[in-house]
Amino acid sequence: MITQSQLFNTKNLDFKINHLLIIGVLILAFSISFLIRYQPAEYGFELNEFDPFFNFRATQFIVENGLSEYFQWHDDMSWYPEGRDVSGSSQVMLHITTAITYQIFGGDSLLYNFTILFPVVVGSLTVVIIFALVRVLGGTTAGLFASLFFSVSLPVILRGTLGWFKSEPLGLFFGLLGLYFFLSGLKSKNKKIALAKVIAGGIVLGFGLASWGGIQFFVIPIGIFILAVPFVRKDFEFIMQIIPIFVISFLFTSILFERPGPGFVFGLGGFSLIIPTLFLITCIFVQKISKPKNQIRNGLFLLFAVVILSSFLIMINVESNFLPLPSFRYLNAINPFLTTTDPLVDSVSEHATTTLQQSFFMNSVLMIFAGLGIWIIFNKIKSKSVNCFSNDMIIFVLIFALSGSYVSSAFVRLELFASISIIILSSIGLSILTREIMHYKKPIHPIQSKILKISFSVAIIILIIIPLTIPANGNWIASLNIPPTILNGGTAYTVSTNDWKETLEWIKLNTPPDSVVVSWWDYGYWITTMSQRTTLVDNATISTSQIQKIAEIFLSTPDDAWKMLQEMESDYVVVFVAGQKLSFQDEKSLYTLYGGGDESKKQWFMRIVDVPLEKYLHSDGISGTDYFWNETLLGKMFPFSLIGYINPNNNNQQSLEYIPGFTAIYTDNIKYPPDGDGPFQLVYASPSFTEQKIGPVIGVFVYEVNKDYLLYGNE
């Protein structure tokens, strides 16, 4: 074959055309991934979302102070007054890896710019890792398909676009690399190489877990796979050495970090690998002493006993908690029925339960290819195409696919696990089908054979291109072309404004350095990092009670809120309102609100603090009642007043009272002016509120707590 033709050779390398083809496809996959991930740059070169700002600040601390100081760092500017133990509550390997790579490759670039680009480069390089992993599972062709699918996968790229300096890109890089080393070691014929690979796999997987807590979900398929290994492998001596070494190296690496640390190793996560490993050793021993015809039966009896015993221990652990459990959101992923039991977790948009519509949109035609892969594996298990795959690798693929799909059902954020499962199944299915088509041996005319092969290739290309291009404004690529969060406040408006950036700069330049700033927890990282001011809460959600306290403050009467803020030694309050300015006149303008600011999150404030919703909201669960607007601090800090309702679907029919289906209309009304003698004074309003311009309003408002309020006779 042409692809096997030799180009050149050296003492240790025989370089053929197929190697050139592999390199070309990987470069193409990397380039596609890079370009898609880089799209938000057209709005502005900024960090995206909220967590990346803390990660940048932590990485900057390492670059400026070194690792030893980092592990001793107690951050007094967050979660005032207790502060935060950074290394014990962070994705440490993300900060360490970025700091090291910056010192090696950063050159004269700013660290801020380096961290913006970091997830794009790491995420794009992962196409090589997924190629290597799937190549071990299903061959080179499957690996090449996987690299291309990974480069355009919507759930994967959503968690790794420009500025997404969060845990997922690096966590996936290390996690998939660790899986590759582990599975490659199991397939290796050279025991020394196999040993080196599984040790490397355990270490790298441990790095992945220290980069992103979500990597602990890889423990599920690995643990189940270890339970299955004694039934599909007969080289007992080899796997009795290799698998325990992998588990030990992984757990030892994990325990070196404060997070996940001993709580993971000696908790449910660690025992999810320790128990299967003990079963593996015991099962092999039982099979060795059993008669050949009874080996499988005795092994299954032992497996059944382990499952029953483990279930019993889990039930006991619910009451006694002798095994440390993961945090609530990780438990929620294991048990999706826990959704809605913790309002704080539910309030995060990326923790919303995945719908069927979202799954179909995110995975599109890849679901068809994945179904094809499952069908071929189950129904053509005896064909030549499938027999070239080892049984243990096929078992791992199926286990990984099922567990990935299950875990992703809890959160939209975890849809990327389903995506990786679908990518693996799709790649293997297409590679088998491609091999069958390209090696079709039934006697047909050569022209018919060429037409068949060309038609197949064209059909596959068209199916892959469809979700990337159709519909015009709702395809995969268009869905990823959104502004960085700091430029639109995380609202529904695809605009790029400087409202938040100018507000944060104003706070930095116009407030005392020792000021304590209160806001909803979403914006804590922005204020601490960009304004260099102390905050009470942020996205680490370290203290649920402190977040509940902030929600209580916003929903209290202004006087009660003022007293609580005094007790918390707070100096400024920041609120954020998003909406549309419909018209403007010399003095008053008209607005619709509910665009993604605090006005859209207020119902979560209420659920988190557990107050009766009907007191604050109308029957639609969104529109504020008179009590909300006139009696709560949050309502009074929104510089708007309700003037009535209209029905846009019925000739703008008007009403002064709330009617379901009608849209509320507001006018601007600053209730705490800068020169007022109330408990608060508006000291800054962002440009899109103050400028005379119709369109989206990304309104950020800074209020100073009036420490002299009691001088006016208020108690």
> Nearest to residue 468, comparing CAs of 27, 35, 23?
35
Contact (Cβ atoms closer than 8 angstroms) between residue 565 and residue 518: yes
Contact (Cβ atoms closer than 8 angstroms) between residue 580 and residue 595: yes
Give the whole-angstrom CA distance, residue 567 versus residue 407.
Answer: 43
Q: Is 532 left (phi over 0), alpha (psi -120 to 50) or beta?
A: left
Does residue 2 register a pLDDT over 50? no
> Band of the pLDDT at 381, cuts 50, 70, 90?
low
CA distances from 525 to 111, 369, 507 (A): 17, 41, 14
What pTM, to 2 d.p., does this model score?
A: 0.90
224-254 pLDDT, tens digit each: 999 999 988 888 889 999 999 999 999 999 9
Locate 70 and state its tokens: 């980092």
Ranges 306-315, 425-434, 471-480, 551-560, most confident: 551-560
Which pLDDT value is given to residue 448?
A: 67
> 591-595, long-range: CB within 8 Å, 24+ apart, which pairs?
591/640, 591/665, 591/666, 591/667, 591/668, 591/697, 592/663, 592/664, 592/665, 592/666, 593/638, 593/640, 593/664, 593/666, 594/622, 595/491, 595/492, 595/493, 595/696, 595/697
Burial class (CB in 10 A: 0-12, 13-18, 19+), 28: middle
Instruction: Identify the three-state secondary structure at position 488.
Output: helix
Which pLDDT value is given to residue 297?
A: 79
Does residue 616 register a pLDDT over 70? yes
- The average confidence (pLDDT) of the chain is 87
Residue 681 in any domain: the answer is: yes
CA distances from 603 to 443, 600, 607, 616 (A): 68, 7, 6, 9
**Number of structural domains found in the chain:** 1
Residue 524 in any domain: the answer is: yes
Residue 521 in any domain: the answer is: yes
Locate 655 and state its tokens: 């009403």
Residue 612 in any domain: the answer is: yes
> Band of the pLDDT at 668, cuts 50, 70, 90?
very high
CA distances from 579 to 265, 493, 592, 689 (A): 47, 9, 6, 10
Average pLDDT over every residue of 181-191: 93
Domain that holds residue 678: 486-712
Instruction: Give the position of tokens 């009304």.
Output: 669
> Band of the pLDDT at 603, cuts 50, 70, 90?
very high
CA distances from 491 to 80, 330, 560 (A): 28, 27, 30
Q: Is 696 left (phi over 0), alpha (psi -120 to 50) or beta?
A: beta
Q: Which of 364-368, 541-545, 698-702 has the lowest mean pLDDT?
A: 364-368
Does residue 77 register a pLDDT over 80? yes
- Quote the DSSP letter at residue 336: G
Which pLDDT value is given to residue 79?
A: 96
Which pLDDT value is given to residue 293?
A: 74
Does residue 8 register a pLDDT over 60? no
* Cis amide leading into 471 (omega within 30): yes
Rounded to an integer, what is the distance from CA 343 to the centroid of its chain?
19
In degrees, to the nearest 5, what angle opens at C-alpha 24 toward C-alphas 147 and 481? 55
Average pLDDT over every residue of 603-616: 92
Give the whole-angstrom CA distance, residue 27 versus residue 477.
Answer: 19
Which pLDDT value is given to residue 442?
A: 64
Does residue 683 register a pLDDT over 90? yes
CA distances from 6 to 20, 137, 281, 537, 568 (A): 10, 26, 46, 62, 74
Residues in Cβ contact with 251 at an 8 Å cutoff, skipping those fewer than 6 apart? 202, 206, 265, 270, 273, 274
Question: Exposed e or buried b for every residue in 612-642, given b needs 16+ CB within 10 A?
Answer: eeeebbbeeeebbbeebbebbbbbbbbbbeb
Give the whole-angstrom CA distance, residue 212 versus residue 149.
Answer: 23
Contact (Cβ atoms closer than 8 angstroms) between residue 623 and residue 603: no
Q: Which helix (H) or strand (E) holds 584?
A: strand 572-584
In degrees, to the nearest 5, what angle opens at C-alpha 76 toward C-alphas 71 and 81? 130
Does residue 704 register a pLDDT over 90? yes
> Band of the pLDDT at 341, cuts 50, 70, 90?
low
> Nearest to residue 18, comparing CAs of 42, 38, 37, 1?
1
Give the whole-angstrom CA distance, residue 177 versus residue 181.
Answer: 6
Contact (Cβ atoms closer than 8 angstroms) between residue 356 and residue 412: no
Amino acid code (one letter) for 375: W
Amino acid code (one letter) for 679: P
Question: Exposed e or buried b for every residue in 255-289, given b needs 16+ CB within 10 A?
Answer: bebbbbbebbbbbbbbbbbbbbbebbeebbebbee
Average pLDDT over every residue of 376-395: 68
Residue 565 in any domain: the answer is: yes
Average pLDDT over every residue of 115-138: 96
Residues in Cβ contact with 550 at an 8 Å cutoff, skipping those fewer than 6 apart? 518, 520, 521, 536, 537
> 563-566, long-range: CB within 8 Å, 24+ apart, which pairs?
565/518, 565/705, 566/705, 566/707
Q: Which residues face 590 on adjacent strands?
A: 583, 667
Residue 515 in any domain: the answer is: yes
> Nearest to residue 231, comparing CAs of 297, 181, 186?
297
Instruction: Give the position of tokens 């009272």.
Output: 657
Which pLDDT value is given to residue 322?
A: 62
Q: Which of 143-152, 173-182, 463-472, 527-536 has the lowest mean pLDDT?
A: 463-472
Give the whole-angstrom CA distance, residue 663 versus residue 649.
Answer: 10
Give the whole-angstrom CA distance, residue 70 versus residue 50.
Answer: 21
634-666 pLDDT, tens digit each: 999 999 999 999 998 878 889 999 999 899 999
Give the whole-angstrom CA distance, residue 221 versus residue 602.
Answer: 39
> Band of the pLDDT at 374, cuts 50, 70, 90?
confident
Q: Which helix (H) or strand (E) holds 701?
A: strand 695-705
Contact (Cβ atoms closer than 8 angstroms) between residue 125 and residue 176: no
Does residue 360 register a pLDDT over 90? no
> Nearest to residue 511, comparing CAs of 571, 574, 576, 575?
571
Instruction: Identify the three-state secondary structure at position 381.
Output: coil
The percentage of residues in the chain with a pLDDT greater than 90, rounded to a whole number, is 57
> Band of the pLDDT at 329, cuts 50, 70, 90?
low
Residue 351 in any domain: the answer is: no
Q: Which helix (H) or strand (E) holds 509?
A: helix 499-510
Contact (Cβ atoms closer than 8 angstroms) between residue 106 and residue 97: no
Residue 655 in any domain: the answer is: yes
Q: Which of 133-142, 259-268, 339-348, 431-440 has the lowest mean pLDDT?
A: 339-348
Which carries the bigger pLDDT value, residue 322 or residue 459? 459
> Band of the pLDDT at 1, cuts 50, 70, 90?
very low
Contact (Cβ atoms closer than 8 angstroms) between residue 166 and residue 55: yes
Does residue 556 register a pLDDT over 80? yes
Which carries the bigger pLDDT value, residue 15 or residue 78? 78
Instruction: Identify the three-state secondary structure at position 481.
Output: coil
Rounded to an integer, what is the distance from CA 608 to the centroid of its chain?
23
In degrees, to the nearest 5, what angle opens at C-alpha 615 toward C-alphas 610 and 621? 80
Contact (Cβ atoms closer than 8 angstroms) between residue 715 and residue 595: no
Would the CA dihedral through 712, 550, 596, 343 be positive or negative?
A: negative
Locate 311 and state its tokens: 């279930």
Ranges 16-20, 383-387, 573-577, most confident: 573-577
Give the whole-angstrom CA distance, residue 456 versus residue 452.
Answer: 6
Residues in Cβ contact with 74 at an 8 Å cutoff, skipping those fewer than 6 apart? 83, 84, 85, 86
